[in-house]
Structure 1
Amino acid sequence: MKKSLTVALLFGFLFFSPLVTFGQEEEKAPEKVEKKEKKVDITILPVIATNPTVGVLFGVLPGLNWNMGTPEDTRNSTALIGIYYTTLNQLFTSFRSNAFTKGDGFNLLTDIRFNLNSQPTYGLGSEIRSPIVGDGGGVNDYPYPPIPANEQMAFNNFRLYQTVQKRHKQTNLFYGIGYHLDIFWNIDDKQLDLDAEPQRITHHYRYQTLKGISTEKYSQSGLSLNTTFDSRDNVVNPYEGQLAAVSLRLFPEFLGSTVSASQLWMEYRTYVNMDKNRDRNILAFWTYGWFVTSGTSPYLALPAIGWDMFARSGRPFTHGRIRGEDLMYAETEWRFPLQRDKNKWGGVLFVNTSTASSRTEDISLASNFVFGYGGGLRFMINEKKRVNLGLDYGFGTNGAQGLFLNLNEYF
């Protein structure tokens, strides 16, 4: 198996050259008057990457942190903006934010993406070492020739997710509704060849035709019911607290979905302090379950690692490496300081696992687990708001490995 995402970064430039960081103030104060605290902190991170899927990628990753009230009564808000272009003429753009209005009255979650995409897909389920479909090994009595484990797909994708949740009185409980739209078009199965003798069928084509869905374009559009308990002390780099979230997403045809379906998202995070004298020495735990609860979701809209809101799950695998009608994911990360008294430099060690089902292939959830592990460095570019620049390297099942750059903690 080829390496998954492999990123070539200018490490010295990113870590030791000044990052482009500035803030916007409410108003410009005279020199003799004490300046007001910055309302918006902006960090612009240049990104250079390379892998077989994208060729060479160039782009910027601006990160925003701001407060709509005061630190005493309102949590900080955060947003990440990604703009990337590749030598293979791919375009990736995104805007993702977690915002709190004054007094934490409302929590606004936004996920907008427009991608001219190309990535490998590997079929459904988490049976990485299972026989190739159609190889005569008795997998589903499939009558077609073998399908390669790595199938390259090109497609365009537009996503608009917007959730609005109201705070319940003065508690950490939020509840509300959302709208979720995913459109996939210009889908090109690179290994699909219907004119060959015998035909060469891909996982995507087989799934879509069995479900009676177009193989060239499809969409999911619907509403969600959401509830979240969030007691974290900081959304970008928590030292304590918990997050528990449930989202039931309904995608009826009359709202624009190609086929009707419903999905359930359930998530939990918690943070355990390892040293009462050092807040930064913690164990962080993250788990989520993502399930198709009724109807049929199109192939690229099925639960998959790396397709969570901030695209953080699944180090060191490529996005979508594990995909299925049901998906469960869990990760543990130890975050620790590298300086005795300061918080500028830190390190992390992580391990994660995922499992997915394929009802079509009769692969049950939890029948196989895929593991990833690794470590990395952290450099805190804004100590007051705990904004971290991170560089991680990970290893995974069947030789997967990759180098990952990020702003803020992974979860």
Structure 2
Amino acid sequence: MLNRFFAFIVFLLVTTTLYAQADSLSNTQDTLHTISRADTIRGDQDAYDIVDAYRSIFPRKDTADVPKRRSGVAYLPNVNYNPSIGAQIGAKMVAGHVFGDRENTTMSVFATALSATTRGIIVGYFNHDIYTTENKWNLKGNINIARMVGLDYGLGIGRPLPSPTPDELILNNPERSRFTYNYNVYNFNERLYKQLLPGMFVGAGVFFELKRGISVNNEEDISPNRIYSEWNGFDDTQNNNNGLMLNFQYMTRDNPNNAYKGIYADVVLRSNQTWMGSQHSAYQLVTDFRKYWNLSKDESNHVLAFWSLGSFKLGNDYLPYLDLPGTGKDAYARSGRGYTFGYFKGLSFYYTELEYRFPILENRFLSGVVFANAQTANDQMGTKLFRYWQPAGGAGLRVLFNKTTRTNLCIDYAMGRFGQRGFFLGLNEAF
């Protein structure tokens, strides 16, 4: 515990220095606008963030009489910690730009990073979320290449089966024994949305998710992945998860990094296609709903936030084992605080969370959260979705990292069942 605390202090100092160096780019007038005027909430620009803290300690002399806009490009340390990946260090570049009138056009965001973790994971990615003038079109996508070391705890929600066979006992894994897989990941996905009404979009896309060199680190060379793959006709050493997407999105939230009010809803029909390289055709309906209530007229960052995330199997065909929905398998791997990544998984999976966010300091430099979540999954051995639930909860501290984009440094401690607990460190809110 003490070592982690000191590690956080060192990280905070390094982050302050590096971010202040990135902020010095604002000595020249930058053409990037990091947030639309419509997204600005009263009090945000009067808040006190890490850059302000750095400048108060190391004031600089301005060489011009006119105020300078902060740069929309930031070079950041890509630092993270959670029980699944261990400690992560790397470099990240984040940029924002408004391609139109800031009154009616949402900020477009670009990010790229390269990082490594103490568990031997190496990840590189490029993400983009682009809105054209007046939000007429929205283009989302990412490229991701990684060397993964993944933890696995079996299929289902951790409930013992009555009279299981030897294979079912390994796959169900009621004792939650840990299996470790090594594999390479090559992912690409792209979605194009057309605005129908303000905040409402429909679209389509493609995805290619390749895993190669899958191996398990245990003496018996037997694993839930191997048993599931034998049952359902998959190659347990490699698989392709490729197909098409149909999308519906509705969005009224005021900021993607840290919303104070509004709604975000995304419904995706994913269709694995054999003609695109998938080993089997399969259909999955993925839903993501988030709602934010502002609780105070005086404090815009006093918020109650709700998250509902689901992935539901349609039809009789199956996904590859490592592509099954589960804990932390949302787009940014932020769900399920209190458990390691993939701790629960199923043919279908549902997750819900409620978080209370409150200010601590009047200048917004420090704020806090408390949260509770629950998840449920089915399996191939008779357990039904929504029948059993696994809860978790915790609390966290927020340090205002960038007041212009409302980016927080998030430090959470969460606890679940089966002795699962740990610190979760990252930039931006979990949802």
Contact 1:26 1:36 in 2 (8 A): no
Distance 1:373 1:291, change over 3 A: same
Contact 1:66 1:78 in 2 (8 A): yes
Partner of 2:139: 108
Distance 1:143 1:232, change over 3 A: closer
Partner of 2:214: 187
Partner of 1:198: none
Whichever structure has more helix as a proportion of its residues is 2
Paired AA for residue 241 in structure 1: G
Indicate yes or no: 2:227 matched with 1:220. no
Q: CA deviation at 1:10?
A: 2.5
Q: CA deviation at 1:215?
A: 0.9
Unaligned runs of 5+ in 1: 1-5, 132-136, 195-200
Whichever structure has more strand as a proportion of its residues is 1
Indicate yes or no: 2:323 matched with 1:301. yes
Distance 1:55 1:145, change over 3 A: closer
- Matches of 1:162 and 1:8 in 2, distance apart? 39
Which residue, out of 193, 197, 201, partners 1:174?
201
Partner of 2:60: none
The alignment partner of 1:44 has SS state of strand
Paired AA for residue 402 in structure 2: N
Distance 1:348 1:145, change over 3 A: closer
Map 1:325-404; keep pairs closer than 5 Å. Answer: 325-340=347-362, 342-358=363-379, 360-404=380-424
Indicate yes or no: 2:17 matched with 1:18. yes
Per-residue displacement from partner, 1:185-227 (whole Å, max 9, x unpaired)? 1000223736xxxxxx321111000101111111111111101
Map 1:99-178; keep pairs closer than 5 Å. Answer: 99-127=130-158, 130=160, 138-140=163-165, 142=167, 149-169=177-197, 171-178=198-205
Partner of 1:242: 263
- Matches of 1:89 and 1:397 in 2, distance apart? 26
Distance 1:83 1:402, change over 3 A: farther
Paired AA for residue 18 in structure 1: T
> Which region of structure 1 is more displaced relative to structure 2, 94-103 or 205-214?
94-103
- Matches of 2:188 and 2:325 in 1, distance apart? 17
The alignment partner of 2:151 has SS state of strand
Q: CA deviation at 1:62?
A: 3.9
Per-residue displacement from partner, 1:58-104 (whole Å, max 9, x unpaired)? 32344433322343121123344342224564312233343322321
Partner of 1:320: 342
Per-residue displacement from partner, 1:143-202 (whole Å, max 9, x unpaired)? 888967211111111111211111114x110111111111111000223736xxxxxx32
Per-residue displacement from partner, 1:128-157 (whole Å, max 9, x unpaired)? x526xxxxx612574888967211111111
Distance 1:158 1:244, change over 3 A: same
Paired AA for residue 215 in structure 1: D
- Matches of 1:160 and 1:330 in 2, distance apart? 27
Paired AA for residue 326 in structure 1: S
Give the % identical residues: 28
Contact 2:157 2:378 in 1 (8 A): yes
Paired AA for residue 74 in structure 1: T
The alignment partner of 1:12 has SS state of helix
Q: CA RMSD in A?
A: 2.8
TM-score (norm 1): 0.86
The alignment partner of 2:418 has SS state of helix
- Matches of 2:371 and 2:414 in 1, distance apart? 9
TM-score (norm 2): 0.82
Paired AA for residue 204 in structure 2: I
Contact 1:76 1:235 in 2 (8 A): no
- Matches of 1:362 and 1:55 in 2, distance apart? 34
Distance 1:305 1:98, change over 3 A: farther
The alignment partner of 1:306 has SS state of coil
- Matches of 1:26 and 1:35 in 2, distance apart? 14
Unaligned runs of 5+ in 2: 33-62
Contact 2:168 2:381 in 1 (8 A): no
Contact 1:46 1:59 in 2 (8 A): yes
Contact 1:239 1:282 in 2 (8 A): yes
Contact 1:90 1:115 in 2 (8 A): yes
> Which region of structure 1 is more displaced relative to structure 2, 278-287 or 98-107?
98-107
Paired AA for residue 301 in structure 1: D
The alignment partner of 2:154 has SS state of coil
- Matches of 2:4 and 2:390 in 1, distance apart? 21
Contact 2:357 2:369 in 1 (8 A): yes
Contact 2:79 2:426 in 1 (8 A): no
Q: CA deviation at 1:324?
A: 0.8
> Which region of structure 1 is more displaced relative to structure 2, 319-328 or 33-42?
33-42
Q: CA deviation at 1:117?
A: 0.8
Q: CA deviation at 1:55?
A: 6.7
Q: CA deviation at 1:381?
A: 2.3
Q: CA deviation at 1:54?
A: 5.7
Which residue, out of 63, 77, 97, partners 1:66?
97
Paired AA for residue 191 in structure 2: T
